[in-house]
Amino acid sequence: MSPVGRALLLALLCGLLSACAPQRSVRVEPSDRPQPRGTPTGLYEVVRGDTLYGIAFRHGMDYRELASMNGIGPPYTIYPGQRLRLSAGTTAQPTAPARPTREARGVIAPIVAEQPARPASGSTPPPTARPQPPPGAPPSSAPVTGTPAPVTPSVTPSLPAGPPRWQWPAEGQIVSRYLAGDPTRQGVNLAGRGGDPVRAAADGVVVYSGSGLIGYGELIIVKHDETWLSAYGHNRKRLVNEGEAVRGGQQIAELGRTGTSRDMLHFEVRRNGRPVDPLGVLPKR
């Protein structure tokens, strides 16, 4: 057989083998929550359910850095539709009411408040409200004053004294390790079975409990002090709420596979908002 014939026969055989091989599907998760059309690069538009901790965690920032960059002070109230700067060189264009000037003390800082509701037409204003215009007069264009109330503020327990005393959050074997600079490997993955206990790695306060961060599934974030956070992703069920104090070793979730193809815990440790290798702080096994 000529060289050309052999090449054609080899190509045909390769094609047949490829057609018979089992097909694998790969699902690629988007790296971030889709932003409304027209949102400039370097800005993030707040949606209902967001918290300042969650936004900062998603973008690898410290929540205090994000708050300072956008002129947001305690209790760090944010609003749906508000645009936040993610870098110092970006100019934010707020599209929501300014933050409240009256501090609501004793709340867990990063919350999203409802938009202030305008009085219904014809309703009787309270005694301190601005007088209504006479019948037939054009409506006033003066802005509505007042402070919008935050949504269901949670009392913040005091943070533990001293540095975190770390312990393993699950008993499974490590199936993926931290790799500096790789956004897909910012922690460790621990194998397990659905329903296995997920435990707090140290004393702290829950600052996020939800599923709004794409790629993490059902996620819990615990603040241990002003420096350290830990995160627990892909849970089957979350057992703690935002604002709740937890003890190291306390079960906070059930291990699962939300956002992944196998049962496992994704565990991250962050120092001042930046990921660090969890194996550098966890005790040796």
44 part of a folded domain:
yes
Residue 12 has what pLDDT?
58
The CATH number of whichever domain residue 94 belongs to comes to 3.10.350.10
Strand intervals (E) in 98-250 = 111-112, 174-176, 188-191, 197-199, 204-210, 218-223, 228-238, 245-246
Q: What are phi and psi of 276, to 5 degrees?
A: -130, 165
Strand partners, 150: none
Q: Does 209 share its domain with 276? A: yes
185 part of a folded domain:
yes
Please choose, from the candidates 158, 159, 188, 207, the residue with its C-alpha nearest in 3D space to the C-alpha of residue 269.
Answer: 188
Residue 198 has what pLDDT?
98
Q: Does 96 share its domain with 181? A: no
User: How many separate domains does the chain show?
Assistant: 2
Residue 279 has what pLDDT?
97
Residue 27 has what pLDDT?
31
The CATH number of whichever domain residue 271 belongs to comes to 2.70.70.10
**Boundary (domain end) residue, out of 94, 115, 136:** 115
146 part of a folded domain:
no
- Alpha helices (H) in 59-169, listed in sequence order: 63-69
155 part of a folded domain:
no
183 part of a folded domain:
yes
At 279 the three-state DSSP class reads helix
At 95 the three-state DSSP class reads coil
Q: Does 178 share its domain with 276? A: yes
Please give the chain's pLDDT, 285 residues, in tens. 666 566 556 555 555 444 444 333 223 333 345 555 556 678 999 998 888 989 999 999 999 999 999 999 888 889 999 999 998 766 555 444 444 433 333 333 444 444 444 444 444 444 444 445 445 544 444 444 444 444 333 335 677 777 899 999 999 999 999 999 898 899 999 999 999 999 999 999 999 999 988 899 999 999 999 999 999 999 999 999 999 999 999 999 999 999 899 999 999 999 999 999 999 999 999
Q: Does 273 share its domain with 182? A: yes
Q: Does 194 share its domain with 270? A: yes
Residue 37 has what pLDDT?
53
209 part of a folded domain:
yes
Q: Does 276 share its domain with 179? A: yes
217 part of a folded domain:
yes
Domain ranges, residue 73: 36-115
